């Protein structure tokens, strides 16, 4: 029998009772409202909830009100962001640019060349690398016949200045534009000594050939289109040789002998510079400039190439901007000279630093051909940089015999 009045429950019995009620409801069982004997149940449902005193209202403080307002604003911002995302979905995250094998191989080689340039300059000057006349170095091998030495010394007395073009990869148009400006202003004539490494050596051969720089720019676009469609790495050397053989004249070696110097790196127990200024045939000139441009594993699928029974690679590794046979050499660099740590550079993107591509972009264009619009822009920038140099040095470079630079 149940007592007629509710019994007093302790905290433990109330908790046990509430858990039994909830477990029955969770199982889907309906709790009987009356006892088996038909009597009303002596205990009310959830007595602690019905009989417990109400909780005191929280005291409002300025800090609590500010926190609540911030929470409401955060919820509103979240709702607005979700609505905007449904209306204007976020663009896909930018995929990191995947560099080709050609770019990776060329970057490794150019990075090594830059380290050698900085290291050599630090040893000599204690700071930034200065371009040194290589005549004083024992490591330079001269491909020059003894009977040509006296003739070259005579040219030194009458001709100044000469122009040296740096290694540049596929940045041919920059050198073409600079050369066009120097020819328009009378600095480069048919007798002006020239020197170059890698792409700079090719530019020297083009200038000596008598072709116009605009024609050379069109040929560069044909070469770039071929590389863009069929690839650059491992095949650039063969394509370049075919293009030069078709574009350059048959008497190229006669035009180049004694006037241009091609820089090559000869591999022995340590790399050393090789300067070539005498050629036997047109093919000999083309082989020299391609050897000067031979980045290992980039122009062809082999680590080095042979030139005149010597194992050689790109001349930019040891002679980035070789000296000419003139009394004074003006050096032209297609890259920002300050970024490479070079001094005594005449013409470079540092002459006119506005509206320039980043060094990273220039290195990419040097290894993978850019679009035709970019090639035209590089040609224009090379012309403008050379014009800035010419305005600053117009009165300084006069031949020693009193004739102007444009005179024969």
Mean pLDDT of 125-149: 46
Within 271-397, residue ranges assigned H as helices are 282-292, 337-340, 359-367, 372-392
Report the DSSP beta bridge partners of residue 261.
Answer: 195
pLDDT, tens digit (0-9, with 9 covering 90-100), for 182-199:
999 999 999 899 999 999
Q: Which of 15, 50, 274, 253 is nearest to 144 (CA)?
A: 274
Q: What value does the CA radius of gyration of the chain take, rounded to a whole number of Å?
A: 40
The two three-digit tokens of residue 19, written as one number: 């858990």
pLDDT of the residue at 137: 43
pTM: 0.66
- pLDDT-derived band at 72 (thresholds 50, 70, 90) equals low
pLDDT, tens digit (0-9, with 9 covering 90-100), for 360-388:
788 888 888 899 999 999 999 999 999 99
3-state secondary structure of 118: helix
More confident residue, 370 or 128: 370
pLDDT of the residue at 408: 41
Mean pLDDT of 249-272: 92
CA geometry: angle 153, 157, 160, nearest 5 deg? 110
Instruction: Please give the share of the chain, as a percent, with pLDDT higher than 70.
Output: 57
Estimate the crossing angle of helix 199-209 against helix 282-292, to 10 degrees: 150
Residue 197: active-site member = no
> Which entry of 164, 166, 314, 348 is annotated as an active-site residue?
314
> Which entry of 197, 198, 209, 292 is annotated as an active-site residue?
198
Could you tell me the domains of the chain?
Answer: 141-397 (3.40.1090)
pLDDT of the residue at 380: 94
Cα 373 to Cα 167: distance, rounded to the nearest angstrom = 22
pLDDT of the residue at 136: 38
Mean pLDDT of 255-277: 91
pLDDT of the residue at 24: 55
- Residues sharing a CB contact under 8 Å with residue 339, sequence separation 6 or more, in sequence order: 359
Report the DSSP beta bridge partners of residue 263.
Answer: 197, 275
- pLDDT-derived band at 76 (thresholds 50, 70, 90) equals low
- Residues sharing a CB contact under 8 Å with residue 259, sequence separation 6 or more, in sequence order: 191, 192, 193, 194, 208, 277, 325
Cα–Cα distance list, 313 to 104, 146, 264, 306, 380 (Å): 17, 26, 7, 8, 31
Residue 348: active-site member = no
Q: Which of 98, 77, 175, 162 is nearest to 385 (CA)?
A: 175
- pLDDT-derived band at 49 (thresholds 50, 70, 90) equals very low
pLDDT of the residue at 245: 95
pLDDT of the residue at 296: 84
Q: How many helices (H) and strands (E) does the chain have?
A: 14, 10
């Amino acid at each position: 029998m149940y007592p007629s009045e509710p019994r007093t429950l302790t905290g433990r019995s109330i908790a046990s009772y509430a858990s039994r009620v909830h477990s029955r409801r969770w199982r889907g069982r309906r709790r009987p409202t009356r006892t088996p004997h038909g009597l009303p149940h002596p205990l009310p449902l959830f007595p602690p909830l019905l009989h417990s005193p109400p909780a005191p209202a929280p005291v409002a403080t300025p800090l609590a009100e500010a926190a609540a307002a911030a929470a409401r604003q955060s919820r509103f911002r979240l709702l607005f962001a979700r609505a905007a995302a449904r209306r204007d979905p976020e663009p896909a995250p930018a995929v990191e640019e995947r560099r080709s094998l050609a770019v990776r191989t060329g970057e490794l080689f150019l990075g090594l060349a830059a380290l050698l340039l900085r290291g050599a300059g630090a040893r000599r000057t204690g700071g930034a690398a200065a371009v040194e006349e290589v005549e004083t170095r024992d490591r330079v091998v001269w491909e020059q016949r003894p009977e040509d030495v006296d003739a070259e010394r005579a040219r030194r007395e009458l001709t100044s200045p000469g122009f040296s073009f740096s290694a540049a990869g596929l940045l041919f148009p920059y050198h073409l534009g600079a050369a066009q400006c120097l020819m328009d202003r009378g600095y480069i004539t048919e007798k002006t000594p020239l020197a170059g490494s890698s792409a700079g050596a090719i530019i020297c051969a083009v200038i000596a050939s008598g072709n116009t720089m605009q024609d050379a720019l069109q040929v560069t676009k044909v070469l770039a289109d071929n590389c863009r469609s069929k690839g650059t790495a491992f095949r650039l050397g063969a394509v370049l040789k075919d293009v030069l053989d078709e574009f350059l004249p048959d008497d190229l070696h006669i035009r180049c002998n004694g006037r241009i110097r091609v820089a090559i790196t000869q591999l022995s127990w340590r790399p050393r510079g090789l300067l070539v200024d005498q050629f036997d045939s047109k093919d000999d000139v083309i082989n020299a400039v391609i050897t000067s441009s031979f980045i290992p594993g980039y122009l062809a699928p082999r680590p080095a190439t042979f030139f005149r029974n010597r194992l050689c690679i790109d001349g930019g590794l040891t002679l980035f901007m070789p000296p000419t046979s003139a009394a004074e050499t003006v050096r032209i660099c297609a890259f920002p000279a300050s970024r490479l740590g070079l001094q005594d550079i005449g013409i470079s993107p540092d002459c006119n630093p506005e509206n320039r591509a980043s060094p990273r972009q220039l290195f990419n264009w040097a290894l993978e051909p850019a679009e035709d619009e970019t090639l035209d822009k590089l040609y224009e920038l090379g012309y403008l940089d050379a014009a800035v140099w010419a305005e600053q040095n117009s009165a300084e470079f006069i031949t020693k015999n009193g004739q102007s630079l444009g005179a024969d």
